[in-house]
Amino acid sequence: MTNTPPLKTQPTVRSCPFDPPEEYRTLREQEPVAPVTFPDGAAGWLVTRYDDVRTVLSDPRFSAKRIVLRPGGGGMEDAPPPPPGLFIMMDAPEHTRFRRLLTGQFTVRRMRQLAPAVEKIVAEQLDAMAAAEGPVDLVQAFALPVPSLVICELLGVPYADREEFQRNSATIVRLHSSPEEFQQAQAALRGYIHQLVLAKREKPTDDILSELVQSGELTDEELVGVGVLLLIAGHETTANMIALSTMCLLQNPEQLAALRADPSLMDGAVEELLRYLTVVQFGVRRTALEDVELHGQQIKEGSTVVASLASGNRDTEHLADDPEALDVGRPHSAHLAFGHGIHQCLGQQLARAELKAALSALLDRFPTLRLAVPVEEVPMRDDMLVYGVHELPVTW
Amino acid sequence: MKILIDEGKCVGAGTCVLAAADVFDQRDEDGIVVLLDDDPPHALLPQVMDAAARCPALAIEVVE
């Protein structure tokens, strides 16, 4: 009988709220393609170096289609088809059809044109926050409403319905939701968007969902899938980046002072915060379509590979100059916060516009902003697919 | 410097526009990359190389 070494799981425990778990540094140095067991019991590989992350996410031998996971990997024939419209789980050319329908809505130019509307939403939320007496929870008062209002307006989703879709969206990205809770939340969100699709077919309005309905390119089921995806992606990630960035700047007073002294640093600061904080905390999963050798490791066809965006962004391969430090004056780097390859975040220019408007106005409006509780008491989102804070009590 | 772009690969992320706005733009209707200058002045080489490196779909090739 042989002694099998204990199986490793993906590192999850952080010693600093802004740093990935420390084991990632060791893995990058000693075991860049490491065997791991995922929480669902499946065996696979964890990739932690910048170049390898980019390879896994851009090489067509790795598929975004999720397979039936089982220890040792399964065959691609077990793969269920991706749910209709959920194009983040498709490969080219299936994926291309959806991406092409949407990219025109999220260009650099379109998002710059949208900036005044975003700034107005930001100002209104800050007015309301200023009128309240501190302390307030920055997540509920500001960080969540801003991207939620913006994506609702863009997509054509009534903001008044936010309580329900925000709750369902949170259930979907929470790690410990039971399969029943997950399915219930998904069905509720799908049902909600389906009603909207039907309403917009009847009476189109000036928004992305109406345009997609009118294009006639997608079935109702596909429209629902796209709508759900954009709604969730449009607010979870940005809301957490706004709140976590604020907390991070408050804990790095010299960086905050530099940014306040020279607001022209904001574009670069947003990129650096995206890199440094990388809220997609558990990485991106792919499946090998054939046997692939990576760094001398044989990855068998059907194996799951997780590419850690957070680890890649802290790699000296990416940044020779102290990647573990937050430096708002750093030149823009080709970071992995939005992923890489054909699935790189569709809404990244929107996220940039929102982060820039939100952080600029918040710092400007509240020069004495500070945490209202000791930093150790801020509840961190270790339990969510998207990292950040559950609450951020602040005062001024 | 010559720049070759592969429209078929482009996924409209817009990272090239952020890196080198004098050289790259996006089509309004579908966000696909538009080359404003296929032989830009040498001074723009670092920005163009940056755009090629950042492109998530590897759709930009620079021939020096």
Pair A345, A278: CB distance under 8 Å: no
Q: Do B57 and A99 touch (CB under 8 A)?
A: no
Q: Do A106 and B31 touch (CB under 8 A)?
A: yes
Between the CA atoms of A130, A135, A137 and A142, what dihedral angle is there, to the nearest 10 degrees?
10
Q: Could you read off the pLDDT of A213-252 as tens digits, one per residue?
A: 999 999 999 999 999 999 999 889 999 999 999 999 999 9
Q: Do A107 and B58 touch (CB under 8 A)?
A: no
- Chain B environment of A332 (Cβ under 8 Å): 18-19
CA distance A21 to A188: 34
ipTM value greater than 0.85: yes
CA distance B5 to chain A (A): 15
Residue B18 CA from chain centroid, whole number: 10
Residue A258 CA from chain centroid, whole number: 27
Q: Could you read off the pLDDT of A190-203 as tens digits, one per residue?
A: 999 999 999 999 99
Pair A288, A299: CB distance under 8 Å: yes
Among candidate residues A199, A386, A350, A344, the one with its CA nearest the CA of residue A270: A350
Q: Is B36 on the interface with A (CB under 8 A)?
A: no
Among candidate residues A369, A341, A345, A136, the one with its CA nearest the CA of residue A230: A345
CB pairs under 8 A between A and B: 65
Q: Is A100 on the interface with B (CB under 8 A)?
A: yes
CA distance B23 to chain A (A): 14
Among candidate residues A120, A116, A142, A118, the one with its CA nearest the CA of residue A131: A142
Pair B15, B54: CB distance under 8 Å: yes
CA dist list (Å): A297 to A33, A185, A291, A292, A300: 7, 39, 10, 8, 9
Q: Tell me what pLDDT residue A393 has.
A: 98
Q: Tell me what pLDDT residue A68 has.
A: 53
> Which of A58, A109, A338 lies nearest to residue B26, judging by beta carbons?
A109
pLDDT for A73 beyond 90: no
Q: Which 3 state secondary structure label does DSSP give A115? A: helix
Q: Return residues 104-133 of A near B (CB < 8 Å).
A: 104-110
Residue type for position B37: D
- Of all residues in chain A, the percent with pLDDT exceeding 70 is 95
**Environment class of A374 (CB within 10 Å of its CB; exposed 0-12, middle 13-18, buried 19+):** exposed
> Which of A103, A338, A339 lies nearest to residue B12, judging by beta carbons?
A103
Q: Tell me what pLDDT residue A79 has.
A: 66
* A178 strand-pairing partners: none
pLDDT band at residue A5 under the 50/70/90 scheme: low
Residue to mutate among B25, B30, B33, B34, with most A CBs inside 10 A, is B30
Q: Alpha helices of A251-297 — where are they, by DSSP H?
A: 253-261, 266-277
For the question of whether the overall pTM of this predicted structure is more than 0.90, the answer is yes
Q: Is B64 on the interface with A (CB under 8 A)?
A: no
Q: C-alpha angle A124/A125/A129, rounded to 5°? A: 120
Q: Could you read off the pLDDT of A114-126 as tens digits, one per residue?
A: 999 999 999 999 9
Q: How many residues does chain B have?
A: 64
- Chain A environment of B57 (Cβ under 8 Å): 58, 341-342, 344
CA distance B18 to A15: 34
Backbone angles phi, psi at A372, to 5 degrees: -100, -5
Q: Tell me what pLDDT residue A77 has.
A: 59
Q: Do A344 and B11 touch (CB under 8 A)?
A: yes
Q: Is A92 on the interface with B (CB under 8 A)?
A: no
Which parts of chain B sit beneath pLDDT 70?
none
